[in-house]
Structures are given as C-alpha cells and as structure tokens.
C-alpha cells in the first residue's frame, strides 16, 4: 500500500463519510459542536495513520469504530463532565431566580389586594384564592351573584390601576 494519501483521495473519503460519522457521533454524545470536533479528529487521525488501515473491513466500518472510540473517550473526559456540571448549575440558578421573581410578584399582588376596600378584597380572596364560584361567594356574603360579578370587575379594575405602575399583570390588562 502506498504510504502517501493524496489530497484528492482524502477529500473523497471525507465527502463520502462525513454525514454518517456526524450522525453517529451525535447519537452518542448529543452535542452537535462536539460531534463535529470528534469527526474532525477522526479524519485527522485517519490522515496521519491511514496506512494502519488493513482493509479487513470497509473504510466506513473502520472510521465508524474510530468515531465510537473517540465518543466514548469524550464522554469520560473532564471537558464533558465540566459541561454537564456547568449546565446543571445554570439550570438550577435559573430555577432559583424564577422562583424568587414569582415570590416577589406574589408579595406585590398580595399587598395590592390588601389595599382594596373590604367589599372588593373579600370577593377577590374568595373567588381567586379560595376558588369559590360566583354563586358560592354570593351565598357566603349574602349578596346576589350579579353583585359579586360587579365587585369582581371593580376589584380587577382597581388592581389594574394599582399594579400598572409596578409590574405588568397581563391577566388584568386583558380583562
């Protein structure tokens, strides 16, 4: 076998096998940029040591085996573990930040509700927080269901007016 691999032959090998090897690498590591790096490393290794290919199997099988081995090495590497650890930390940080924002919004809303006059505050609390129906609120407060609906509408309008300066409450603005 010739100990020199021509550039044309090497380019043909790359054109023929790149897509297959990329898909194979991606199936192993589930990271497209890393899969591209691995396939590039496989072709570099093949270019440097192509004379070691003994043609006992097809070139596709040989390159696939090299790709699988490099994928397994990657999955054992510190680079991969660091990436997983970093992604885990970032996801956890985002969850904590989102939870803090939600709690802060709840406090702002609770404060706004507490500032409402009693007749509006009680219908909001029963309807939204106790999840009672309009009829149940009406029975509980000994008022008509239309009065409950009117007070809910007025309470939402008051809350909308209070909250428009602090936070955008989309639910209130679309009612």
Per-residue confidence (pLDDT) for residue 173, from 0 to 100 = 47
- pLDDT, average across residues 37-53: 88
Contact 137, 148 (CB under 8 A): yes
The closest alpha carbon to 109, from 125, 123, 97, 93, belongs to 125
Cα 2 to Cα 16, 50, 61: the distances in Å are 21, 10, 21
Q: Is 158 helix (H, G, I), strand (E, B) or coil?
A: helix
Question: What tokens were used for 103?
Answer: 């709690």
Q: How far apart are CA 88 and CA 76, in angstroms?
A: 17
16 HSE (CA, 13 A, CB side): 12
Contact 157, 148 (CB under 8 A): no
Contact 157, 163 (CB under 8 A): no
- pLDDT, average across residues 94-117: 77
The yes-or-no verdict on residue 34 having pLDDT over 60 is: yes
Indicate the pLDDT class of residue 166, thresholds 50, 70 and 90. low
Q: How far apart are CA 151 and CA 157, in angstroms?
A: 10
Average pLDDT, the chain: 81
């Amino acid at each position: 076998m010739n100990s020199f691999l021509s550039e044309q032959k090497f380019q043909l090998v790359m054109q023929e096998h790149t897509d297959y090897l990329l898909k194979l690498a991606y199936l192993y590591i589930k990271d497209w940029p890393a899969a591209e790096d691995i396939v590039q490393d496989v072709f570099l290794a093949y270019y440097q040591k192509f004379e070691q290919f003994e043609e006992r199997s097809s070139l596709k099988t040989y390159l696939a085996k090299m790709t699988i081995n490099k994928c397994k090495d990657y999955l054992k590497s510190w680079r991969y573990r660091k990436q997983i650890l970093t992604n885990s930390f970032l996801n956890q940080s985002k969850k904590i930040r989102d939870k803090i924002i939600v709690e802060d919004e709840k406090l702002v809303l609770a404060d706004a509700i507490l500032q409402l006059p009693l007749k509006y505050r009680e219908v909001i609390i029963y309807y939204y927080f106790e999840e009672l129906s309009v009829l149940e609120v009406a029975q509980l407060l000994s008022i008509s269901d239309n009065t409950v609906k009117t007070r809910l509408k007025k309470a939402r309008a008051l809350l909308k007016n209070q909250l428009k300066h602090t936070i955008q409450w989309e639910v209130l603005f679309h009612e």
